[in-house]
Structure formats: structure tokens, C-alpha cells
Amino acid sequence: MPIDQYKDYADYCVREARKAGAQYAEARIHGGAGSGFLLKNGEPQPSIVEDSFGIAARVIVDGAMGFSATNLLSMQGVKDLTATTVKLARASSRLVKEPISMGESRSASKKVSVEEKEPIEGGDPNWLKSLLNDIDKRIVAVERRAKGVKIPNRMMVASVGVEEKYIVTSDGAKVESRVPRFHFFGIFTALKGGRAAQRMVQQGETGGLEIVKRIRLLELVEEETRILAEVLDQAVKPPTGIMDVVLSPELSGIAAHESVGHPQEADRILGREGAQAGESYLSRNSLGMKVGSSEAFVSDDPTLAYSNGYSPVDDEGVTSTKRRLIVGGKITEFLQNRATASLLGVKNNGSSRSVGFDREPIIRMSNTFVEPGDYSTEELVKQVKDGIYLKSFTEWNIDDKRLNQRYTGLEAYRIRGGETKELVRAPILEITTPALWGSVKGRSKRLEFEAASCGKGDPMQGIPVWTGGPDTLLGGVRMLA
Amino acid sequence: MPRRASGRMAPAESNDFAVSVAKKLGADEAVTMTVVSNERMARFANSSVTVTKTINESGMMVYLAKGGRRIIGSSSNPEKTSLAKFVGLLCKSMMSIPKDESYVPLPPKGRRFSSKPRYDRRLERAEDLLTGYAGDAIDAAEGAGAKRAAGSLEAGVVSHYIAASNGTAGEEASSKILLNIRAFTDRDASGHGLSCSADVKGFHPDIAGARAGAHSKSMRNAGELREPGSTFSILMSPTVASNLLGLVGDFASAFSIEAGTSYLVGKMGKKVASSQLDLTDMSSGDGCLQPRSFDDEGQPTGSTKLIERGVLKSYLHNLSTAKRFKTRTTGNAGLIEPGPWNIEVGEGDSSYDEMVKEMKLGLVLTSNWYTRFKNYRTGEFSTVPRDGTYLVKSGRVEEPIKGIRISDSLERMFSSIRLLSKDREWIQWWEVDTPTLCPWVLVDGVTVTKAYGDTPAPAG
């Protein structure tokens, strides 16, 4: 991407916006290039090559915010963009009852890059196709070994790409970044005797092509499809009622993301996402509020190496830091951007991200996880006399205040006498947020992550994140079937 | 201000240029589609405008084929030198991959599409309209009892330009304006309103705002369901019904059928819904929010009856899926995945009041979100109602209800449709991707659950 060619457009945009009366101005050259390949039931589909970039401008004028974006990069285009952004913000200020201020966050001047042992550019369509073919062969071999279970539907997409940005703000931020990524998504359907089971697998990291080996992608997908066949063939009706439940890293991660990360986004708390992604059960006064047991610890860390949500500097040019969201069951921190931190009078932890030049930066999670504890997985399971180990999930959802959530298990085992036993079919944990985090009794040492795309904003922005955690023991929760 | 050699071309010129470069580089076939959009948006929360947006974009999709190999590229850089380089890269990448068995050639003779612009020109640059409309919607919500309102207003024009190596050429444009407003009286009491139109004439921000405000007032002191886990008759507003029925277009895509991600696999010609249900994919017509006269392969679009009197009549196809299914394209490409343009759910003959009277124990749902599938092959899902939700007993709306979840399968629900309303509305918003013209829909025997555990008092 010719980012160097257009840096002075961004500098010009900020300078001119300030001259035109903006109290704050920010410009971002943002783009990405990459390739993708889709293999459906062993048959290749057309390869996909993408190249997209443009400029975004955001200003505060008289307490009103204006945002504009275009990929039509010319002298006149950027000039018009700047003037339009300021004009629209100024015109809307008469309908602004809560003036917006970007406050005084500490602006970063930094270059961000990610190490690639095997350059991501090597992931051309042919490389991606070979990778997916190798995975498909393994699944077909799993099918041959499975007793009467067929896996006829195997849809996989692998993609590589590089995201590049240049961000400049009127208070001195100047950030350049280059983040390469690998992403895999697969959906597999197993059939037997008129019944069907389905598993979605998603993996993604930042780095070069070495990611595929580092995450053992081929082995991982092979194992997931083997288990899928077993679930369909062997799982029995699950027990229902009040019992102890162990959540795997995958379940701990989705619960942390949905019922801790989202309700602790300050923009939701302050109502900005009210008509789309919703608000929060928390208020601006909820810091220090007890929502979990003394064993509940949840964090969001944008600085984790290799992570899918890696973003050490945010898209408002502010250094991002690890956020301790819940410590010992108490709410300790919200995810902040410049405006919310200014309004709430707290330190900005740099949580503002955008997926492309045509989207405004908004508060986003990065890598949200339950903090690991001191137990081994076996030690946690041993504490359960009669319960369920939820290892993977299918369907999930949560209300828009982030209180009433549901996770339906796919790979799930009955626990009896402190040992995992038979597979059980589709047990359901449907529980309120305080009941879930209030029931945490222990956490294992291991910490694992899953890749996900988190949706928020209008227009919608699906942004790469990790969700993760250790095994988490919940004491006495209700299970449905 | 720095100077750049722009080298920028008009969309039709860009398309022709890309096709000619591809031919010079030896491609057997080339299709280029340029999409130019001008979008304006005003968002508000707590009855205060939070941001105004203007987004002007031009993106090009390039499809190339040679000797059975195929590749698709998308680029946002319309500058001449960059475009030539991009097409060159695509040609090179294409030759590095093996032949694709699902390749189907374009028809030898192309078509010329000439449609007169019928979009609302007032929506080309609607920035001056939007803040006024936002104010109207907020005032109407507060006038109906809301303490505050949040929402988004978007308006714009999208133009599609196509050219292909077989001589196909065409262009068309469409406009739309959408309002999504949510009103609150307290944290647990909210209401929702939408107004979706292809032109200013059909756009009613005051009605949507008033509807949201009235529900937010009615939802004060909402109680919890005393019979969770039971089955109920559910009366779904067009907003809720379109969230579920609008998905049929995606499930009917031949791609979803082949990928095994559809509950409609193996159901062609079979009963998949109540005889009350007719459902059509329509590419044009009065009020269509996403009209198209040609698809991404340059084939003419049309109207495809997907479900007629409850029977599955057709899948949606592009050229390559049609060949594998031994049928003709329905003009719904997507080069990889055929998909719906607009969904029309057939009207019934009931009024809202008549439908409520038909319910013994039921719930009226006016909005929902977060629909997720346990299994796309079986169509099992759950979704979370929000905003105006009311318990109905013996044909009367009794009380507002909060904190519930619907858990069912699409085929079972659609097979239990009892009544549809005469009145229909166009719906497209955060939770409904495909524009859907939809009535109120009454469904029997739907499982409703609520979460385990106490709910804390609303935060102050």
C-alpha cells in the first residue's frame, strides 16, 4: 500500500481542519491488502485478492463530532473532505445537548510493526489452496475412520493480509503501523441417520505464515472434526438442574467477551450505542461494584504478542494499556476512548479502533480473557461430584444490556466423582451475568485463546479479537437441555 | 497542499480499461463491476447528536478467467496506473492456481442494460436533511413519553456500473433513507421504531419516533415471565418477522445448500412452511430498497418465488451453481455465492387487532436482536426480544414483559404460522441485512425461556 505517498494528505487535513475552527482534528490513512481462498467440500472456489485504502478525517467543532472518509485521493478531494467534515460538525452542533470534548489524552509518536518469520506476502492463492487441501484430506481421513458418520460439508476460508495505517492528530499523535495477519474459518457438518452436528472453527493471529505451524492448524481442525463425529455418534441426553460446571478456555473466553468486555465499554455505558449494540447494565457509577466472586478476574490486553486483537496504539493515537476489568469480583476499569475518558474524568486506556478508512474509531475490546489461576484442569474437575464440562459451544447470545446470556455446548462431558465421563448432547447454560461471575470457584493455570470477529458500530465494524481464559469452575448453576 | 497526478477515470471508463488490460494480458474472460456510493449519516444518543458522517467511496470488483482458472479481485484504487498494476497482479496470481472444476463460461453474447435513473436525487447529498429529520424523530419520541432517544439516520445513493469481455455493459443507481430509533424511559423500559424508504416521500421519522416513544412508555415496570420454558403464541412485528423470514433468502442460496449450511437442503418441492406463507426474492418493484437490474455476472435479475403456499419452489443461483443444479441462473450472482436482493413476504388478510384477539396465551414482540444458530443445517436457533414486549391472555394485551429468549427452529416456526397481516412494512436495519417487505406474523407453539439467576436493580 502506498501509505508514504499519502501521509502529507493526512497532515494537511489536520492542519486545515484546525484553521477552519476545529478544536480537535484527526486524520488516518488506512488500508489493507491480502488474499483469500475458499474450499467447499474439497472443491476450490475462485481466489480472492483485495487491495483497499483511503483517508478518514474526524473533527470536533463547537462540541459536535464530524467524520468523513473517501478513497478518492486527490488534492481537491482531501480539501473538500476536510471542509465538509468541519461544516457538517458545525451544522449539527445545534442538536448537540451533550458537547463532546476529546480531553487531554497522552498522544503517542510511534512506529508499530509485527515480526514475520515467514513473510505474509508468501501466502498467495496457491499457498492458501494447498493449505486448505491438506486440511481437507485430514478431514476426509477422519470421516473414513468414523463409524457411519459422514462429513460431507466442509467449507473453509483461509486468508492473509497486511493492515497499514498512518494516524495524525492535532494534539501531536503521529503513529505508523503495519500489522500482518493470518485467519482461518471453517464450518463442518457431520451427518448420521438423519441427525446433524455442526462445528465452526476460527483461528487468527498477527505475524507471518509461521502462524499456521505455531497454532498447529492442521492438527487442530483434524481433532475438532474427529470430536464432531464422536459428538454426533455418542453424545447422550445431558442432565438438567442445579450443578457444578467447568467452562473450558473457549467457554470462559466467550463469557468474558460478552458479559464483561461489552458491558464495560464506556460508550455503551454512556448510551452512545443505544439504538444498535445496546447499552449496559452498568452505569458510570459502577466502578467498585461487586458483580462476581472473589475468584472472578477478567482482563483485556491489546499488547499480547501474536494476538488477533493486537493494537498497542489505538486509532486515536493513544498508547493502549492492559485493562483489569474485574478484579476479585469487583468492577475496576472500563474501556475508554478520548471522549469518554474526558467525560468520566479518568485515564484513557486507548481502546479506540476502526476496521478501515471508511469507519470511525469506536471503543473496542482487543483480547479479552479470564485471568488464569492456580489449579490444573484435573484438579478443578476433581472438585465436581456430578456436573458438566463444557468444552466447546455452538449457539450463543446475550441481551443488549449484557445480563441474560446463553451458551449451548457442542463438545461437553458429564462429570461424575471428579472425572469426565460420557459425551452429553447440547447442554445449555442460560444465566444472568452476576449469577455467572458470582459462581466462579476456581481457575486453572492454562490460558488459551480463540479468534473472533466482534461486531459493533453503525455502519457495522467487525474487528479482530481474541477471547480466552483458563478452565473456570462454576459452583451450582442451572443447566437446561 | 501536495500535488498528485490523479489519473482517475469515470466508473464506466475504469471498467472498460480494466477489461482491456485483462484481455491484453491474455484473460479469456473479464467482468468488472464498479460500485460508487455516497452515504450520509447522523447518529444520536441521549437525544443529542453524537456524530455526522459522510462517506464517499468507489470500489471495483474484477473477475478474470483463463483456461478454467478463475480469480476475483477487489480494489478501492481507481487510479489508472494502480488499476493496470492490480489487473496484472490478478492475471499473474490466476495462472499460479490450478483449474477450477466449477468454472462455467460467461454467455458468448453480452447484454446492454440501460435503466433510467429512478432514484431520489434529494438523497444524493442528504446532509442538510438528516439533522432536521433526527430532530423530528427525537421530538416525536419524547412527545410520546420517552425521556431520551438514540438512533441513526442514513441516506445515500449507490450506483453500479458493469462491463464484461462478452460485451455486457450497463449502469444503474438506487437511493434509500433509513431511520433506526430507540427510545427510553428508564434502563429497562425501551421502545423501537424504524422508517425505511427508497425516497423522501415514503420516509416518516415522526411516526417511527412516536412508535419508539410509546413503547418505551408502555414498558415501564415490565415484569418477568412467570411461565418460562413453556410454549406461547408469538405475534411478531414486521421488524421481528423480517429478522427470521428475511434469512430464507440466504438459506435458499445454492451456495448454502452445497455448503450444508441450510435447513433447506433436500427440501425442494416439499412443504417447509405453513400454507399461509409466500416468500419471493424480488430485484425490483415499488419501494424496493435494493433494486438491481443486472447481477455481478452481468445476467438480468428477476423475481424468484422461493416459497409458495408453504412449498419450497426454488433456490437462488448464479451461472456456476445453476450448471451444477442443472437449472438456469436466477440472476442472483455473487460470483462465489448467489444471494437475495430483496425479500417480499406475502400479505395476509388480518389486522393487528384481529391477530391479538386470536391469541389465548401469547406474546407480542416488536423488536429482537442477536439471532444465533445452533446448527444451520437444522435451522435451530435462539434470539433475544427487546424493547416493546407484551404478554397476551385470552385475546387481550395484559402487561409488559422483560428478560425473555425465543428458542426454536425456523422450519417448525414457519410451519406454525397461523395468520399474517394485510399491512406490510419495508424493514432494513442492524439486525436485517436483506431489505424485507414484511407483515405482522402470528406463530403458534414457540418455546420461551429466561435466564437463571437474579437480575440486579437497574443501574442509576
pLDDT in tens, B424-456: 999 999 999 999 999 999 999 999 998 888 766
pLDDT band at B152 (very low <50, low <70, confident <90, very high): very high
A297: which residues sit within 8 A by CB, 6+ positions away?
A324, A326, A327, A328, A370, A371, A373, A443
Check: CB of residue A426 under 8 Å from CB of residue A407.
no
Q: Give contacts of B148 with chain A, Cβ < 8 Å.
A: 271
Look at residue B3 and tell me whether its pLDDT is greater than 50: no
Look at residue A470 and tell me whether its pLDDT is greater than 90: yes
Q: What is the pLDDT of residues A374-401, one digit of tens each?
A: 999 999 999 999 999 999 999 999 999 9
For an interface test with A, give the residue of B14, B48, B148 to mutate (most A CBs within 10 A): B48
Look at residue B32 and tell me whether its pLDDT is greater than 90: yes
Please tell me the distance from the alpha carbon of residue A445 to that of residue A472, in angstroms, as a whole number. Answer: 10
Q: Which helix (H) or strand (E) holds B14?
A: helix B11-24
Please tell me the distance from the alpha carbon of residue B143 to that of residue B139, in angstroms, as a whole number. Answer: 6
Residue B242's identity, in one-letter code, is S
SS (H, E, C) B321-388: HHHHCCCCCCCCCCCCCCCCCCEEECCCCECHHHHHHCCCEEEEEEEEEEEEEEECCCCEEEEEEEEE
Query: Regarding beta strands A393-398 and A404-409, do their DSSP bridges make them parallel or antiparallel, or are they unpaired?
Result: antiparallel
Average pLDDT, chain B: 94
CA dist list (Å): B95 to B75, B88, B91, B235, B253: 19, 11, 6, 55, 29
Please tell me the distance from the alpha carbon of residue B110 to that of residue B117, in angstroms, as a whole number. Answer: 22
B63 in contact with chain A, both atoms CB, cutoff 8 A: yes
The neighbouring-strand residues paired with B301 are none
Please report the beta strands in A149-297, taking only residues with DSSP state E, as ranges in sequence order.
Answer: 150-169, 174-192, 195-206, 241-247
Q: Do B56 and A72 touch (CB under 8 A)?
A: yes
Q: What is the pLDDT of residues B243-269, one digit of tens each?
A: 999 999 999 999 999 999 999 999 999
B336, B405, B449 member nearest A38 (Cβ): B336
pLDDT band at B136 (very low <50, low <70, confident <90, very high): very high
B-facing residues of A in 406-445 (CB < 8 A) are 406, 408, 426, 430-432, 434-436, 438
Please tell me the distance from the alpha carbon of residue A145 to that of residue A125, in angstroms, as a whole number. Answer: 31
Q: Give contacts of B59 with chain A, Cβ < 8 Å.
A: 52, 71
CA dist list (Å): B300 to B115, B314, B435: 12, 17, 20
User: How remote is the C-alpha of A5 from its chain's centroid?
Assistant: 31
Look at residue B115 and tell me whether its pLDDT is greater than 90: no
A371: which residues sit within 8 A by CB, 6+ positions away?
A297, A298, A299, A443, A469, A470
> Which spans in A146-281 are helix H?
211-214, 217-234, 249-256, 266-269
Read off the pLDDT of each residue in A328-356 and give the average, rounded to a whole number: 98
Q: Quick one: pLDDT at residue B126?
A: 86
Look up cell 483485495; give the residue: A50
Please tell me the distance from the alpha carbon of residue A85 to that of residue A99, in angstroms, as a whole number. Answer: 17
Query: Regarding beta strands B48-66 and B29-45, do their DSSP bridges make them parallel or antiparallel, or are they unpaired?
Result: antiparallel
Look at residue B101 and tell me whether its pLDDT is greater than 90: no
Check: CB of residue A270 under 8 Å from CB of residue B48.
no
Look at residue A307 and tell me whether its pLDDT is greater than 90: yes
Look at residue B4 and tell me whether its pLDDT is greater than 50: no
What DSSP string describes A432-443?
A: EHHHHHHTEEEE
Look at residue B57 and tell me whether its pLDDT is greater than 80: yes
* Residue of chain B whose alpha carbon sits nearest to that of A54: B76
Q: Quick one: pLDDT at residue A72?
A: 87
Read off the pLDDT of each residue in A4-26 and give the average, rounded to a whole number: 96
Please tell me the distance from the alpha carbon of residue A437 to that of residue A256, in angstroms, as a whole number. Answer: 9
Please report the beta strands in A343-385, taking only residues with DSSP state E, as ranges in sequence order.
Answer: 352-353, 362-363, 367-370
B201 in contact with chain A, both atoms CB, cutoff 8 A: no
Residue percentage of chain B with pLDDT more than 90: 87
Q: Quick one: pLDDT at residue B1?
A: 32
Q: What is the pLDDT of residues A61-86, one digit of tens each?
A: 999 999 999 998 888 899 999 999 99
Q: Do B74 and A275 touch (CB under 8 A)?
A: no
Read off the pLDDT of each residue in B183-207 and give the average, rounded to a whole number: 96
pLDDT band at A344 (very low <50, low <70, confident <90, very high): very high
A234 in contact with chain B, both atoms CB, cutoff 8 A: no
A360 in contact with chain B, both atoms CB, cutoff 8 A: yes
Neighbours of A155 (CB within 10 A): 21
Read off the pLDDT of each residue in A275-284 and give the average, rounded to a whole number: 95
Low-confidence winner among A298-302, A462-466, B61-65, B101-105 (lowest mean pLDDT): B101-105
CA dist list (Å): B68 to A478, B95, B103, B107, B253: 56, 10, 6, 15, 24
Read off the pLDDT of each residue in A99-122 and give the average, rounded to a whole number: 95
* Residue of chain A whose alpha carbon sits nearest to that of B131: A92
A-facing residues of B in 275-304 (CB < 8 A) are none
Q: Do B372 and A395 touch (CB under 8 A)?
A: yes
B-facing residues of A in 155-194 (CB < 8 A) are 155, 187, 189
Q: What is the pLDDT of residues A363-373, one digit of tens each?
A: 999 999 999 99
pLDDT band at B98 (very low <50, low <70, confident <90, very high): confident
Read off the pLDDT of each residue in B112-133 and give the average, rounded to a whole number: 87
A-facing residues of B in 318-347 (CB < 8 A) are 335-336
pTM of the predicted model, to two decimals? 0.97
Q: What is the pLDDT of residues B283-322, one digit of tens each?
A: 999 899 999 999 999 999 999 999 999 999 999 999 999 9
Please tell me the distance from the alpha carbon of residue A362 to that of residue A58, in angstroms, as a whole number. Answer: 12
Q: Quick one: pLDDT at residue B187?
A: 79
Q: Quick one: pLDDT at residue A184?
A: 98
Q: Which residues of B254-269 are buried (b: 16+ CB within 10 A; e: fewer)?
A: bbbbbbbbbbbbebee
- Please state the length of chain A: 481
Read off the pLDDT of each residue in A349-369 and give the average, rounded to a whole number: 98
Check: CB of residue B149 under 8 Å from CB of residue B114.
no
Average pLDDT, chain A: 96
Q: Quick one: pLDDT at residue A1?
A: 55
- Output the nine-digit C-alpha cell for B445: 407453539
- Output the nine-digit C-alpha cell for B36: 460508487
- Please state the length of chain B: 460
Q: Quick one: pLDDT at residue A342?
A: 97
Read off the pLDDT of each residue in A37-57 and give the average, rounded to a whole number: 93
Please tell me the distance from the alpha carbon of residue A124 to that of residue B73, in angstroms, as a whole number. Answer: 13
Q: Quick one: pLDDT at residue B99?
A: 84
The neighbouring-strand residues paired with B397 are B392
Ordered structural domains, chain B, with CATH: 11-110+122-212 (3.30.2290.10), 222-242+347-449 (no CATH)
ipTM of the complex, rounded to two decimals = 0.96
- Output the nine-digit C-alpha cell for A423: 459425551
Residue percentage of chain B with pLDDT more than 70: 97
Of residues B127 and A108, more confidently modeled: A108
A399: which residues sit within 8 A by CB, 6+ positions away?
A278, A405, B370, B384, B386, B403
B70, B258, B455 member nearest A46 (Cβ): B70
Please report the beta strands in A280-364, taking only residues with DSSP state E, as ranges in sequence order.
Answer: 298-300, 323-327, 330-331, 352-353, 362-363
Of residues B453 and A308, more confidently modeled: A308
Read off the pLDDT of each residue in B198-210 and give the average, rounded to a whole number: 97
Q: Give contacts of B134 with chain A, Cβ < 8 Å.
A: 95
Q: Do A404 and B70 touch (CB under 8 A)?
A: no
Please tell me the distance from the alpha carbon of residue A225 to that of residue A202, in angstroms, as a whole number. Answer: 13
B-facing residues of A in 101-140 (CB < 8 A) are 124-126, 129
Check: CB of residue B34 under 8 Å from CB of residue B154.
no
What DSSP string describes B127-152?
A: HHHHHHHHHHHHHHHHHTT-SEEEEE
Ordered structural domains, chain A, with CATH: 3-34+49-108 (3.30.2290.10), 113-164+175-233 (3.30.160), 241-480 (no CATH)
Read off the pLDDT of each residue in B341-353 and give the average, rounded to a whole number: 98
* Residue of chain A whose alpha carbon sits nearest to that of B85: A51
Q: Taking Cα atoms as reference points, which of B218, B154, B153, B159 lies closest to residue B191?
A: B218
Look at residue B6 and tell me whether its pLDDT is greater than 80: no
Of residues B334 and B116, more confidently modeled: B334
Neighbours of B25 (CB within 10 A): 18
pLDDT band at B457 (very low <50, low <70, confident <90, very high): low
| Cα maximum dimension of chain B | 73
Read off the pLDDT of each residue in B329-348 and give the average, rounded to a whole number: 97
pLDDT band at A277 (very low <50, low <70, confident <90, very high): very high
Q: Taking Cα atoms as reference points, which of B387, B390, B397 lies closest to residue B356?
A: B397
